[in-house]
Structure 1
């Protein structure tokens, strides 16, 4: 809205300068009263930003000239018609009422000069200029009202278009939400039933196992399945479900996560530095998933089944780094562009974090999470 007003002011200012230059040129060519016309033209700079001020100034200058010189001002009085059009087209309701009063006063001054016969003959023919001026003013007022109605109709059409777009967007979001709910239910049914079956079989295997090592293996499978089942339910549960649903994991659950990988044979060394601060639940979950994916890659592609997790806290950001040795026969390009690392990049971009993924003799996943609002993160 401010840009539109500024653009209007610039156009009106350019029109005022052009009109003043034209009237000055008329003065050089010998046109009388050019100075009055130039002063009136200068007021064009206020035409659409302050239409009632513009109209009042034009009427005042025209009336002053009429009372002083007892004749109409040419070509300056043409701006009176511009003022009438502007008030009808751009002014508010209250300003239009003031404009009508100003127009009546202006016509009254014209009639006053005709009746006195000063510069205009008092015969019936002397009223002809007044009749012509009043007719032109009425025509300018009508054209201004038509222009106002046209702009209001366009604005109403634009408003309806925006509302229609918002309505369509809302419908699309609602359809996407319903589809998401349907897919969540389907995924929950598939994963929940599958994981439940795995847990039952692991419990049965643990119950019938005599040797200690197989029994411990079945126990770990059962615990891992239960943890995965709780996470699936926590992620897919809607807000209306019971509060007993397990919450989404966060940084406080990293210990149990690392313990799970250690039970699977990965030797993890964790280093924390700085003062820890509370994070939003969504960001904490994203960091948890990044660490989980990084440890999974270390377990799958690591050469010595070792990994190092570093969490560096500062007042502005949290840096999470996972480093592990990489096997010689691993396809580096495939690892750098695998689905899991794409998920890491996507989670970092969602929370404005920076992700740096490097593969060489060591595989490094470094993510920097802002602890204060900032611009979108970079991925490299």
Structure 2
């Protein structure tokens, strides 16, 4: 009912101040009320004691609202039965009823308030004062029914607001969780693209070096140099990606179509000749589109290097008014006839390569198709929408 600590002390201090204020009002106001109600019993020590008991009981209204209502109801009923004038003591009854209605569930609050009301009605038929009989029922009920109704409305509004805040908190937590999951997937995809491509190139260059080492060791040195360069570049890019994760900050998408030439040269060292064609007028692209297009080309060429069994591939980048298209083709045999073989899924395990490409493109509103091409080989084609230029 009442939390401890600083909040509890604040409630206690507020209740004490409020009770003392009502006590002063009760003691001073009752004398004035007696002057305006001829026939009522004169204010005496017993009257003042009842006023003090009712007012000071409110000091515990947040800790024990039901008990406070009992004390205030008894004191008020005795006060009215004796015939003292209607006065500020009824304010303490109003506050006690309101507190019960706001602090207790509706059913217990209604039972406690109903009991107080029945007790209070005693003075209507037993009162020694000038006001008695059925004419006193309506004004008496108003001091109980009105604060109870107001208190219930306040309680319902508070509970509704609390549920709304709880739902908002759950919604924010769920949104944060989704954002975290999306960020993890994005980082995993970035790491997959960087490491996967680098390892594929290094594996191919290592095979070349092992093949040349017994017969032409001087040419094997070239392949080993290419391995060193490729691993260094992959580690540098991986370091940037992981650095952004540690700092919790978004990093700009460094790779883009401007690096296709460097990608082509790196793959040439691994034994894959890439013919790069650009259609249309190259222009600055949105960062997300630029990165996605580069990753699609990188992953597709990595698949060619791993699975196609050929030494060449073609890349076409087409800049259109409202979209960018990239296409990677080869004439190898890495894909199964239905487009679901090793080259189709991009990884020997799990198929994250092609799935990652599709997710990247779909996230930007584009579409990616991949499968065997007419005449043999494999084709990856991605369409990425752009804002229309005037």
> Where on the TM-score scale, by shorter chain, does this alignment land: which range?
0.3 to 0.5
TM-score computed with the length of structure 2 as normaliser: 0.46
TM-score computed with the length of structure 1 as normaliser: 0.47
**Taking CA–CA contacts closer than 8 Å with sequence separation of 6 or more, which of the two structures ends up with the larger relative contact order?**
2
